[in-house]
Amino acid sequence: MATVISRQVRDRVASATGANSPIPAGGCLLAKATHAPDARIIILGSDEYYPFLTGKEFHDFVMRGNLDLFFLSGIQIDAQANINLHVVGDYDHAQARFPGAFGSGAIYFMAKRVVLFRTEHTRRTFVPHVDFITAPGRSGPDVYRPGGPLKVVTPMAVLAFNDEAGSLELESFHRGRTVEEVLAHTGFPLPVRADVHETLEPTADELRILRGPVRDALRSIYPGFVAKAEAAAV
């Protein structure tokens, strides 16, 4: 997932990650160590990669149109790339409540490109319709929206957002997975692109960088995530 994400990071423009985003953060750092050495990387929770004193400063930066790429997730994601970060079930009688958006709704509109990610690819996550729209994948023609969804990255596949259709479709599946498996684990009809293919695997050099300098850089930001990664590698 980190290597797929890293390929979306561009040189000489800003890419940012929010809270609880170690995989996108790792992808951004991998990009900076490889093809995008002059990328401006912003990682919430990092002393080195967060140049703002307050969250307001960061949001002002985004609202001025300065952010090229942002990463969002959701408790639920639907076919139109709507995300839900608020509740499961009816809003007034919710089965579960979550922290909410902290500006994600606005950033979804204003970041030039948004990559959604989720570490679980199941019908529980990818639902026909989210229970609550924290941020919509698409807006009407009368709404100012310079940005919007580009892709969804999961442990199984990469879904691309089709702007014309206003919905997600299967772009690629990861090694060891199949088109049929991805479709079976998605809770809505998922169109398959004519050129669907196996996701490009990480190179040996990308894995070396991820497991070395990138992991070391993430240690102070996401110590729990790094500890799990190191334990899994033993």
For 151-202, write each residue's pLDDT tens digit.
999 999 999 999 999 999 999 999 999 999 999 999 999 999 999 999 999 9
Predicted confidence at residue 104, as pLDDT, reads: 86
pTM (predicted TM-score):
0.95
Predicted confidence at residue 27, as pLDDT, reads: 98
Of the chain, the percentage scoring pLDDT greater than 70 comes to 100
Helices (H) then strands (E): counts for the chain: 8, 12
Q: How far apart are CA 169 and CA 190, in angstroms?
A: 5
Q: How far apart are CA 20 and CA 124, in angstroms?
A: 20
Closest among 15, 22, 18, 32 to 1, alpha carbons compared: 22
The encoded tokens of residue 162 equal 């089709």
Predicted confidence at residue 14, as pLDDT, reads: 98
Convert 37-68 to b/e letters by CB count within 10 Å (16 or more is b): eebbbbbbbbeebbeeeeeeebbebbeeeebb
Closest among 61, 99, 82, 97 to 134, alpha carbons compared: 82
CATH class, domain 2-233, is alpha beta
